[in-house]
Structure 1
Amino acid sequence: MSNKLKSGMLSVLILAFVLAGCSSNSKSQSEQPAAAEKPKASTQEPAAPAPVSQELNWIIAAEVPTADSVKSYDRVSSSQIEIFAEGLYKIDGDNKTVPVLATGDPVISEDGLTYTIQLRSGLKWSNGEPLTAKDFVYAWKRLFDPNTAAQQASTYYNIKNAQAINEGKAALDTLGIEAVSDTELKVTLEYPDTYFTSSLTSVNLFPQNEKFVTEKGDAYGSSSENTLGNGPFNLTNWDGTGLTWSFTKNEHYWDKDNIKLDKINIQVVKEVGTGINLYESGAVDVAELSGEYISQYINNPEYVTVSALSASNVELGISSNKFLQNENLRKALSLVVNREELVKNVLIDGSLPLTGIVPKGIAVNPDNGTDFADEAGVLAKTDVEEGKRLWELAKQELGTDKITFELITSDHDAAKKTSQYLQSQFETNLPGLKIEVSNVPTKVRFEKMMSYKFDLALGGWTGDFDPVSYLNLFYSTYEHNHAKYKDETYDALITKIKTEDSVNPQQRWKDLQEAQKLALSKAVVIPLYQGASNYLIKSKVKGVVTHNLGTPLEITRAYIE
């Protein structure tokens, strides 16, 4: 889900699709001209080939928790919302921020606090109603309204008065957003933010139709009938819990002439082998690969790999389990995990060992261009003997010889393999520890983690181009601080990074590195791997855009050749 969600984050659609064959008319032998005769010109037009059906069959790996853009907090939801809705800007195939509903880059005031954004004229919702700047004002106010309980609200506290509103200390009308006209939006920040334009790509900041959302009330975003979009497609046939749904072309979309697909059929497929069988049979146009399947298909011309800016971790229920409040125990758990072995022998999917909180490729040192992760070095090490020593010390401190933890993971293939590996590593190397694995639907895992009552959970996060979007996970009041970890020194560092450091890039970089070291010195999370996504995509499917950031595959501009 990124802060836009971590993690993130990473995705299935069964499509039966028919290619009409071309037939050519051939003359019989008796109709052929004699050898000495000059053939006569034909007066009959050649038969035109039948049009190709622009229907795509796609699969994803988990159910969608919500279709409400304001309440979205995970990559699965975001990936589907981005098909039927869009915001001011988006991330293109080069990971650059480009305008969508906006006509160009924001005009930024000299002090860096005010952003003026022009919208395209004539924008419409999928029901034909006008879409104006007021729809952004409504959505953003709803995001920070305490009654909405949006889990990502604190990610955008850099907007003026957002935090005070979200904490019930200020009125909604004081939020730093104003519809100057139907096509002009003005946003005011609490402090300068180099990454603010990039954050405007987040689904949490998409517009919403006040009339429609108000009519639907709490049911908004719970099914296709209770959801309204403004993107390339309309969400259809989704009941909120089912494993299949569709998208149909939105005739009111501003750029509909460049949308080639008429329909996208989605199906949830959790088992990699099942997805591959469907792909090989022609029932779907994509299949996700992992493990041994990658080596089997790596030389296939339809193989596609996408390196992701996502972090997968073991999250710790520090606040809800007294044993996990012991620092030596947490360190022991982290030390006995062999990340190299996990990615090379278990996942075998192109993932990289994650030895810090911030994955590789997020940001570079403003002075020398060194990648953040490279400069940090190996902060989450593997040292089984030291892990065993700390485990025995922890048991003495806790006055027990036996401890049982429940490990909650999603129920797709990669999660199951990872949980089995972790169970083996923990139980083999830490005598007296028992791990009970619980593989559940992704939505259930999210709910359990957001209840802050769990032992261990296999989680992930996809942030943006700012390392603080990952480090924010351990800020005491952040909604996705699932451990409910609290450290005044750490909080002070994160606050400084977000505010005072915004005008001093070099100091900000130093504080970012210091914050990461501090969190891992306390073992508040167990980093595992930086993800990669691997797929088979039918060669007839063109125009799929790959992203390192956010949703790995964007299919809204795809077409069938």
Structure 2
Amino acid sequence: MKTNWRLGLLLLILVLGTVLSACGSNKTADSGDAKNNTTAGETNTSKEPESKPAEPQILNWIIASELPTADSVKSYDTLSSSQIEIFAEGLYKIDGDNQTVPVLATGDPVISEDGLTYSITLRDGLKWPNGDPLTAKDFVFAWRRLFNPETAAQNASTYFNIKNAQAINEGNQPVEELGIEAVSDTELKITLEYPDTYFTASLSSVNLFPQNEAFVTSKGEAYGTNSENTLGNGPFVLTDWDGTGLNWVYVKNEQYWDKDNIKLDKINIQVVKEVGTGINLYESGAVDVASLSGEYISQYINDPEYLSVLTLTASNLELGISSNKYLQNENFRKALSLVINREELVNNVLIDGSKPLTGIVPKGIAVNPDTGTDFSDEAGALVVTNVEEGQKHWELAKQELGTDKIKLELITSDTDTAKKTGQYLQSQLETNLPGVTIELSNVPAKVRFEKMMSYKFDLALGGWTGDFDPVSYLNLFFSTYEHNHAVYQDATYDALITKIKTEDATDPQTRWKDLQEAQKFVLDKAVVAPLYQGASNYLVKSKVKGIITHNLGTPLEITRAYLE
């Protein structure tokens, strides 16, 4: 999270890596073309060559971390979403042209005049891999489960625009009062609390995928913890995943509604955390993709199999404000952010096409509805490097806190890129702020997520891929939002975000101004230290065709890929 469509308002880019379908004229990346590189707001448009699929159709793919969950309702990170989208899908998806197109739905929603009611028709004859019919009731079940407080779904508040969702999630109304109704097996009726320009796009989100009630109920708490306890409805079926291992497999779903357009028979997934290891596997022919970072990019940048995608992921130094008394001091927070040289980080450490992040909202997510100016460009550089100014704030902080020595733990994932970023931040903070000591903790992604969601940490290297519009990034600092890891609370900021989500819904220019004001407000308080807008870099075998690139969410879509 993670799209369009703009319904005439904002040009946004994509959802948490939605799956491919046969609908629409999807743009594909021919991995044999050295000019496949894309930038924010663009989708690769290389044309597939006329060719014959090779036999057998088995793709060997690698990813950087273990799978946290296979439960679409409980998914809260882009890694889980990217995998769930291979074996499950929803009513709509974002295609290669960044348009919202129907998948399980037969067409666009019929929207009431007041913008509060959406009527959607499903395809006939949909089935789960076990042969059960897939009906509108499966959406009702999944959505009720999403908001049921017993589920503890961490992304539930993202969809509080659905009628009674918040009240249900807070335990004040029964789940039966949720604004979704199965009018028949193929007819869904959805009711909102207030008009939402981006609601159709949000229906492509992983959290709103259907679930098989009988299967999920029979598995109880074990649902989504391994392949035997998981059931999807997408192009492939998840197999051979024990819940913690570094390998799993996807096999073609013979019950899938569009199976004739799925060319791959199997996808073998392997977790490879070290970039060098992945490249060795790639060069040996053991895998069809390898991730690139740092010095490896310069080695392969002219290789015809090199592919780069500037994503809409914002990488941040997150501050455990609620759990660390020192970080509750605004001068100390400002000092931390001011002494980090983001240009040096992306150009000399990451060296992967990433760009310095000058605000909370990355470049390419939205444009001014009147002028067409990008949100980030209009905001200007709200985050800068100024070591001298940072040291002044450090001196003030020491006086206010009554200490000249502070030790903080920085949690990062255990991937190459995360480790290098952590080491760089450690050097910057300790060198420029004498008396500050940074202890690094490199852990698996799942452990990092858990620590951040416990709200008890000092510093963490986090990232966020928003969905649909700038508020999905700014919402991270709303007092009751699950992913407000700092547990930052400010009544003025909360009121502004609430206004953006409700009152501003029918006034795009006022909404735009309020979005800009909200970003400036939270950065003036140094609640987070934005670092960089990420890029994803790969080597992809030239025999692999039909891949779609996305800027927001999963950079590479592989469900419609095939081997030439």
TM-score normalized by structure 2? Answer: 0.91
| 1:123 and 1:254 in contact (8 A); partners too | yes
SS of 1:90's equivalent in the other structure is: strand
Partner of 1:261: 264
Q: Which of 498, 518, 541 is the aligned partner of 1:538?
A: 541
Deviations 1:129-178 (A, max 9, x none): 10000000000000000000000000000000000000001111110001
Runs ≥4 residues deviating over 3 A: 5-9
Once the two structures are superposed, the pairs formed by residues 35-184 of structure 1 within 5 Å of their partners are 52-184=55-187
Distance in 2, matches of 1:8 and 1:538, equals 25
Q: String of CA shifts for 1:232-286, please: whole Å, max 9, x gaps.
A: 0000000000000000000000000000000000000001110000000000000
Out of 309, 314, 318, the position equivalent to 1:315 is: 318
Q: Greater RCO between the two (CA within 8 Å, min separation 6)? A: 2
Q: Is residue 2:354 matched to residue 1:357? A: no
Is contact 1:311–1:354 with CA below 8 Å preserved after alignment?
Answer: yes
**What CA deviation, in whole Å up to 9, does each residue of 1:112-139 have, x standing for no partner?**
1111111100000011110000000000
Q: Which amino acid counterpart does residue 313 of structure 2 have in structure 1?
A: S
- Secondary structure of the structure 1 residue equivalent to 2:456: coil
- Structure 1 position 503 matched with structure 2 position 497: no
Alpha carbons 1:124, 1:252 under 8 Å: kept: yes
* Contact 1:95–1:548 (Cα < 8 Å) also in 2: no
Q: Give 1:2's aligned residue.
A: 2
Separation in 2 of the partners of 1:356 and 1:81? 30
Residues 180 and 189 in structure 2, CA contact (< 8 A), matched pair in contact too:
yes
Out of 498, 513, 517, which is 1:514 matched to?
Answer: 517
Return closer, same or farther for 1:502/1:51 CA change in 2, 3 Å cut-off: closer
Partner SS for 2:189? strand
- Aligned partners of 2:227 and 2:211: how far apart in 1? 15
Residue-by-residue CA offset, 1:179-228 (whole Å, 9 max, x unaligned): 11111111100000001111111100000000000000000000000000
Q: What residue is the counterpart of 1:46 in the other structure?
A: none
- 1:334-377 deviations in Å (ceiling 9; x for gaps): 00011111111100000010010000001100110000000000
The answer on whether the counterparts of 1:308 and 1:549 sit within 8 Å (CA) in structure 2 is yes
Match of 1:295 in 2: 298
Counterpart of 2:329 (choices 323, 326, 351) is: 326
Which residue matches 2:480?
477
Indicate conservation of the 8 Å contact 2:356/2:531, yes or no: yes
Report the alpha carbon displacement of residue 465 of structure 1 after superposing the two structures with TM: 2.5
Which residues in structure 2 correspond to 1:339-358 (within 5 Å)?
A: 339-358=342-361
Deviation at 1:396, TM superposition (A): 1.0
1:105-504 aligned within 5 A: 105-504=108-507
Name the larger-Rg structure: 1
Q: How far is the alpha carbon of 1:8 from its aligned partner?
A: 8.1
On the 8 A contact 2:15/2:94 being kept in 1, the answer is: no
Counterpart of 1:247 in 2: which secondary structure?
Answer: strand
How far does residue 2 in structure 1 lie from its aligned partner after superposition? Answer: 2.7
Instruction: Determine if the alignment matches structure 1 residue 555 to structure 2 residue 549.
Output: no
Mapped to 1, the partners of 2:469 and 2:405 lie a distance apart of 41
Structure 1 contact 8–310 (Cα < 8 Å) conserved: no
Contact 1:7 1:460 in 2 (8 A): no
Cα offsets for 1:68-99 (capped at 9, x unmatched): 00000001100110000000011111222111
Offset from partner CA, 1:7-37 (integer Å, 9 cap, x none): 989xxxxxxxxxxxxxxxxxxxxxxxxxxxx
**Matched letter for residue 2 of structure 1:** K
User: Structure 1 stretches of 5 or more lacking a match?
Assistant: 10-48
Does the CA contact (< 8 Å) of 1:212 and 1:228 recur in 2?
A: yes
- Name the % identity: 81
Secondary structure, aligned partner of 1:187? strand
For the aligned residues, what is the CA RMSD?
1.5
Aligned equivalents of 2:400, 2:318: Cα separation in 1: 22
CA contact (8 A) 2:451 2:457 kept: yes
2:31 matched residue in structure 1: none
Q: Name the CA distance, whole Å, in 2 between partners of 1:7 and 1:524.
A: 26
Aligned mates of 1:295, 1:102 — CA distance in 2: 44
